[in-house]
């Protein structure tokens, strides 16, 4: 064995101090620079100790080998923390106004023209074929307006929030255009989620913060790109932290999406370090606190912690069956997607030949708005992202106002409404519509034998959370996030994680693990090209 000396290495800093010594008297800037260089010297010393192959240290050496460089007292960490704090505070306040605009105000105009009361709270306003006739021309006009806006702004396609998280890059100019188009699309009543516009603003805020906080000479040129990626990802994490039931879910969501394949098969993943994870946690928490201070999130009534009292070991096996059923439902979802995309692609080619690119953009968006209005008139609950309709749907099913056939129509119409909007060029996200679709599918499955009653509780108390998690997890690569969301949204206890986790693993394995989703996406890409 080789003896390793733990004496400080005589590495001199610019201020004249060595590793382990206090900096000598000087200006505040010299003292900061001295401490920064002193930390680098100590890091080099630790690396030499580990590389020397010494046998001393026992478990402590293994812990040291996996420990990141100390960062709490560095100026870089303090600057990153300050920048992300400002971004998070802004996102918490912005999110409140944004969600009020695309959520409350959209519900308000849908209710104002409905002859059946407030949408979606009043039962008469959500029954099949009881939508407001005025929704059709107004949604049509809204879709046309989105197309005109896209032409005026010079936007054809916008990046998804999945791309922005994976690449940790955002263009503030494009983000502003995405926000405008997303707000217009959501206020049309399109069955799209708000996360696209919110994530775009979060990434843009992080980019602008990076332009300010990474301009100093104290940030080495080779580290500026790393700082920019951190602030962009932090801004997006703060955006999600302001709308999820608990801030750590936003960190988990971005962590799962940001993981990059380390090899061709994806058997290894590359990920950022704990320092970055800690900063993302602060950003999500500060945004959540700001949003909660302005406007607390409304609880979704289900059965909460009563489910822990109802737990038994048959639940994982029943959840396994529901997870497999979620995989079947996703096949139907993609069949509807294929039909919608094929129709809009053919229409787009015709419009391009006759009217050029601007005519195609406006024409497709206008058709998407018209079909959204028609679907909304026929099946009112297919409108919007579904987030606000979750509590109302549960209430209407429990009261008997929504029957099994109504729920089947809602599920099919929701699939069609999302893909009509997405294929027609309206701008929005996929996550919340999928979660609502899982809720509706859960209510449907609660009518089947074996799920109608569950330990003195209605069957939906079991099927709804399980399918709300497993249906989105079958196509979005965030299985752990999809376990956490229903648990925190419904206030379920820790035992409830067991069936949710089983269902998520089953649906993800069937759809992604089998290669089914890969084949569907490759086929869709080949058709579009």
- The string of pLDDT tens digits covering residues 149-188 is 999 999 998 888 888 888 888 999 999 999 999 999 999 9
- The token pair at 485 is 């969301």
Give the pLDDT of residue 40: 46
Q: With 0-12 CB in 10 A as exposed, 13-18 as middle and 19+ as buried, what is 311?
A: middle
The domains of the chain, with CATH numbers, are 1-67 (no CATH), 75-108+117-294 (no CATH), 306-528 (1.10.3080.10)
Task: Give backbone dihedrals phi and psi of 458, rounded to 5 degrees, phi first.
Answer: -60, 150
- The token pair at 169 is 């890059």
Give the pLDDT of residue 520: 74
Which of the 8 DSSP states describes residue 429?
A: B
Angle between helices 479-490 and 497-508 (to 10 degrees): 150
Do residues 417 and 373 lie in contact, with contact meaning Cβ atoms separated by under 8 Å? no
- The token pair at 173 is 């100019």
What span, in angstroms and rounded, lies between the C-alpha atoms of 410 and 131?
A: 13
Q: What residues contact residue 368 under an 8 Å CB cut-off, 6+ apart?
A: 143, 190, 344, 420, 421, 423, 424, 425, 426
What span, in angstroms and rounded, lies between the C-alpha atoms of 484 and 482?
A: 5
From the centroid of its chain, how far is CA 71?
29
Per residue of the chain (529 residues), what is the pLDDT tens digit?
344 343 444 444 444 444 444 444 455 455 545 554 454 445 445 545 545 554 555 566 677 767 777 777 777 788 889 999 999 999 999 999 999 999 999 999 999 999 998 999 999 999 999 999 999 999 999 999 999 999 999 999 888 888 888 888 899 999 999 999 999 999 999 999 999 999 999 999 999 999 888 776 666 676 788 888 999 999 999 999 999 999 999 999 999 988 766 566 666 666 667 888 899 999 999 999 999 999 988 766 665 555 666 778 888 999 999 999 998 899 899 999 999 999 999 999 999 999 999 999 999 999 999 999 999 999 999 999 988 888 899 889 988 999 999 999 999 999 999 999 999 999 999 999 999 999 999 999 998 887 766 666 778 888 999 999 999 998 888 889 999 998 888 888 788 889 999 999 999 998 888 888 788 777 766 655 5
Give the pLDDT of residue 275: 84
Give the pLDDT of residue 305: 52
The reported pTM is: 0.85
Q: Write down how long the chain is.
A: 529
Give the pLDDT of residue 519: 83
Q: What is the DSSP string of 461-514?
A: HHHHHHHHHHHHHTTSS-HHHHHHHHHHHHT--GGGHHHHHHHHHHHHIIIIIT
Q: Which residues pair with 458 in a beta bridge?
A: 453
- Dihedral sign, Cα of residue 97, residue 99, residue 104, residue 106: positive
What span, in angstroms and rounded, lies between the C-alpha atoms of 485 and 501?
A: 12
Q: What residues contact residue 431 under an 8 Å CB cut-off, 6+ apart?
A: 193, 195, 472, 476
Closest of 128, 67, 48, 44 to residue 414, by C-alpha: 128
**pLDDT, tens digit, 9 for 90 and up, residues 222-261:** 678 888 899 999 999 999 999 999 999 999 999 998 876 6
**Residue whose token pair is 């008297």:** 25
Give the pLDDT of residue 18: 42
What span, in angstroms and rounded, lies between the C-alpha atoms of 521 and 338?
A: 10
Give the pLDDT of residue 167: 86
Give the pLDDT of residue 515: 83
Closest of 221, 237, 282, 259 to residue 77, by C-alpha: 282
**Residue whose token pair is 């609502």:** 436
């Amino acid at each position: 064995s080789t003896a390793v000396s733990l004496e400080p290495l005589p590495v001199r800093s610019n201020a004249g101090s060595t590793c382990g010594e206090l900096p000598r008297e000087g200006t505040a800037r010299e003292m900061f620079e001295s401490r920064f260089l002193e930390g680098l010297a100590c890091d080099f010393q630790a690396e030499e100790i580990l590389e020397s192959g010494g046998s001393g240290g026992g478990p402590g050496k293994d812990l040291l080998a996996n420990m990141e460089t100390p960062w709490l007292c560095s100026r870089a960490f303090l600057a990153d923390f300050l920048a992300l704090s400002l971004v998070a505070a802004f996102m918490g306040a912005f999110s409140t106004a944004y969600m009020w605009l695309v959520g409350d105000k959209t519900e308000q105009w849908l209710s104002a023209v409905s002859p059946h009361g407030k949408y979606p709270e009043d039962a008469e306003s959500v029954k099949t074929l009881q939508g407001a006739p005025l929704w059709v021309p107004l949604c049509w006009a809204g879709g046309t307006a989105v197309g005109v806006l896209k032409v005026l702004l010079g936007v054809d396609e916008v990046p998804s929030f999945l791309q922005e998280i994976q690449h940790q890059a955002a263009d503030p100019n494009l983000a502003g255009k995405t926000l405008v188009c997303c707000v217009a699309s959501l206020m049309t009543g399109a069955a799209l989620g708000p996360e696209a516009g919110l994530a775009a603003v979060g990434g843009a805020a992080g980019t602008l913060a990076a332009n300010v906080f990474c301009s100093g000479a104290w940030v080495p040129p080779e580290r500026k790109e790393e700082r920019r990626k951190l602030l962009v990802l932090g801004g997006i994490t703060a955006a999600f932290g302001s709308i999820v039931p608990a801030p750590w879910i936003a960190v988990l969501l971005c962590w799962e999406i940001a993981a990059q394949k380390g090899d061709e098969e994806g058997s290894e993943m590359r990920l950022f370090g704990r320092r970055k994870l800690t900063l993302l946690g602060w950003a999500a928490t500060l945004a959540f606190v700001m949003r909660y201070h302005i406007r607390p999130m409304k609880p979704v009534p289900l059965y909460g912690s009563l489910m822990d009292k109802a737990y038994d070991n048959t639940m994982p096996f029943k959840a396994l069956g529901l997870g497999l059923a979620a995989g079947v439902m996703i096949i139907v979802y993609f069949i509807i997607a294929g039909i919608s995309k094929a129709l809009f692609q053919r229409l787009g080619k015709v419009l391009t030949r006759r009217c050029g690119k601007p005519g195609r953009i406006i024409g497709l968006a206008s058709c998407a708005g018209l079909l959204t209005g028609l679907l909304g008139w026929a099946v009112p609950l297919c409108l919007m992202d579904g987030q606000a309709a979750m509590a109302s749907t549960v209430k209407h099913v429990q009261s008997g106002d929504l029957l099994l056939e109504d729920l089947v129509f809602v599920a099919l119409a929701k699939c069609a409404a999302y893909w009509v909007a997405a294929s027609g060029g309206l701008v929005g996200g996929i996550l919340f519509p999928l979660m609502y679709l899982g809720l509706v599918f859960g209510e449907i499955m609660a009518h089947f034998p074996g799920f109608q009653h569950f330990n003195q509780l209605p069957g939906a108390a079991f099927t709804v959370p399980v399918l709300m998690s497993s249906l989105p997890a079958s196509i979005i690569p965030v299985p752990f996030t999809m376990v956490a969301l229903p648990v925190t949204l419904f206030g379920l206890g820790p035992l409830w994680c067991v069936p949710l986790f089983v269902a998520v693993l089953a649906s993800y394995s069937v759809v992604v693990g089998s290669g089914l989703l890969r084949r569907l996406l490759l086929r869709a890409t080949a058709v579009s090209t």
